[in-house]
Structure 1
């Protein structure tokens, strides 16, 4: 679930899944207003974190949010829809963060692919720390049916985006492997950040990982 979002403009791009990302999010009847959405997803995150997805109950989520179970079904179609909405929220925030960082770096004249990639990786990791409860939930194996396939699809899309950002020739196997290794390093570091005890330790990890990425990104291929 890791990767740097490539963008050429100053606005954050909307989600553009690659052709293979065909697994779809559930249709909903209506999106709740911002306050209700925040409350409902916050309650869902609490219950999923405490109970795990399989053991989480809709009644408890509704009770904590102060909304009726029927309202939960109306907006998200059930527990699976809530979980996927949390995933979408995390991904969108990470995309906004990394896209804004890349735009700012380009604005100040940075054009080296490795420098841009590492700046985006830092932004992604800082976002994983800031949203660590949600990030840790989404890497667990206890998710709804079909989520692993959806996550793998987007992982592959992120690898391709990173390859474009690094200007790697994707036709060469060595280039593809190199980018996949880099993306895997970011994902593994994001998981470790979830177990950090304080911000100082988290910053130390982010700095160390960015140093590793600089070294690995500089290799030919």
Structure 2
């Protein structure tokens, strides 16, 4: 087996184990020892590949966010019109929040490394910029307020969907969010 294949396998084992441990205990209560025990990988390898527990958390978050971004981009590209593209991407984001609700709940709570809130805030500003471009909005203050509100609604709606107790409840929530966001966009 090539060295990079072993390294990739080690990284994946650590990510799987950290996900299980973080979901079971929360980030704050999880320890490096818990992750090492769950993965069967050495402490040295964990630090080599991720630099510690925060690095594992950030790697899981980046993986989740990439999945969400890929999902929303695919959905948005499949339809015409700025409003319909936004709504298709929004629906895909919410459906991803349900499909990956266990890990979405972890990231939507405030249980993470100290730097997480700063990183999440920066990602939020990036998301606002992307939504502004997607909707084809100008640089006016009114457009800025609209896209900030829409982006905030979507973020909080993702949290609400992830907290649902059943597929039906999640679908009703997703449908209602999309209906309300459509009304917001129509009124703008």
TM-score under structure 1 length normalisation: 0.79
CA distance in 2 between partners of 1:202 and 1:39 (Å): 31
CA distance in 1 between partners of 2:141 and 2:167 (Å): 38
Instruction: Verify: 1:81 aligned to 2:50, yes or no.
Output: no
The aligned counterpart of 2:14 is: 40
Contact 1:31/1:75 (8 A) holds in 2: no
The correspondence for 1:194, drawn from 159, 162, 172, is 162
The aligned counterpart of 1:208 is: 176
Larger helix proportion of the pair: 2
TM-score under structure 2 length normalisation: 0.92
Q: CA deviation at 1:75?
A: 0.8
The correspondence for 2:136, drawn from 167, 171, 174, is 167
Alignment of 1:113-152 (within 5 A): 113-152=82-121
The correspondence for 1:153, drawn from 107, 117, 122, is 122
Q: Deviations over 1:110-156 (max 9, x none)?
A: 1x111110000000111111111111111221211211111111101
Cα 1:146/1:125, change in 2 over 3 Å? same
Q: CA deviation at 1:42?
A: 2.1
Larger RCO (CA under 8 A, 6+ residues apart): 1
Contact 1:114/1:217 (8 A) holds in 2: yes
Cα 1:31/1:184, change in 2 over 3 Å? farther
CA distance in 2 between partners of 1:135 and 1:31 (Å): 29
Contact 2:11/2:49 (8 A) holds in 1: no
SS of 2:187's equivalent in the other structure is: coil
The aligned counterpart of 1:25 is: none
Task: Give the length in aligned residue pairs.
Answer: 184
CA distance in 2 between partners of 1:102 and 1:49 (Å): 30
Instruction: Verify: 1:68 aligned to 2:42, yes or no.
Output: yes
Q: Deviations over 1:39-98 (max 9, x none)?
A: 322221222222222221111111111211211111101001000001100011011111
